[in-house]
Amino acid sequence: MRSWERIWIGTTIALMALAALAVFVYAPREARMGDVQRIFYFHISTAWTGFLAFAVALIGSIAYLRTRAVRWDQLSHAAVEIGLVLLTMAIITGSLWARPVWNTWWTWDPRLTTTTITWVVYLAYLLLRNAVENPETRARFAAVYAIVAFVTVPITYLSARLLRTIHPIVLGPSVSAEAQGQFGLTPRMVHTMVLSLIAWTLLFSVLLWMRYRVQRAQEALEEIEEAMEA
């Protein structure tokens, strides 16, 4: 491991620990929801980094179609996989937050429905990749698919802002009178949220780098093995 990688990973671990400390110690207890509101800090961070991952996949896919350089396809593949992991965390923890606040584990609310659609659409991306054998065809199909799939991201983001929903909007005004679990952010809550967002974004960058390297090494090895067998 190179020294800059050590610094990068070390900073990420330190910031993640600091963010966790801020969530449990520094951030105040929310008056109405109590301690369960502390789920919010990592819930919003995983959702944000999940969508960031899909944005990286979008950029990688556009770059692949323009340049046909395989590294962009590898980057998109890695980003989608990590995005799915992060979005899975956001969905599960959102459900854990919903149970005490909404009195239900799940409801087909616009925000929850569009998030599920996004999750399924990107899961299908990975399945599509497995279904195509030719590497060039696979990369081309995957790139087009990832570009189209990204439509689900702004739809999910806007769903709670444009439609009647019970999902709270913490950043910015809520348009829905039905929103439940809405709360105002105190300065300490804002500090904790910003710290969590930075820590998770950094963690995402480390995971993306690790996953991308694995992908590159795997494809290079497969190419050599195929050439040797031919």
Partner 1 sequence: MGYLVVAYLVFWGITFFYILYLARRQRALEERMARLRARLNPELQEEHDEPR
Per CB under 8 A, contacts with partner 1 among 180-199 are none
Nearest-5° Cα angle at 152, 61 to 157: 120
Long-range contacts at 26-31 (CB < 8 A, ≥ 24 apart)? 26/188, 26/191, 26/192, 27/188, 27/189, 27/192, 28/186, 28/188, 28/189, 30/183, 30/189
- Binding of residue 89 to partner 1 (CB under 8 A): yes
Nearest-5° Cα angle at 43, 155 to 88: 70
Chain centre distance of CA 179: 23
- Binding of residue 21 to partner 1 (CB under 8 A): no
**Least distance from partner 1 to the Cβ atom of residue 221, Å:** 6
Distance CA 122, CA 124 (A): 5
- Binding of residue 38 to partner 1 (CB under 8 A): yes
**Least distance from partner 1 to the Cβ atom of residue 34, Å:** 8
- Binding of residue 14 to partner 1 (CB under 8 A): no
Site string for partner 1, 46-85 (x = CB under 8 A): x-----------------------------------x--x
- Binding of residue 31 to partner 1 (CB under 8 A): no
What single DSSP character describes residue 34? B
Residues near partner 1, by CB under 8 A:
20, 35-36, 38-39, 42-43, 46, 82, 85, 88-89, 92-93, 96-97, 99-100, 203, 207, 210-211, 213-214, 217-218, 221, 224-225, 228
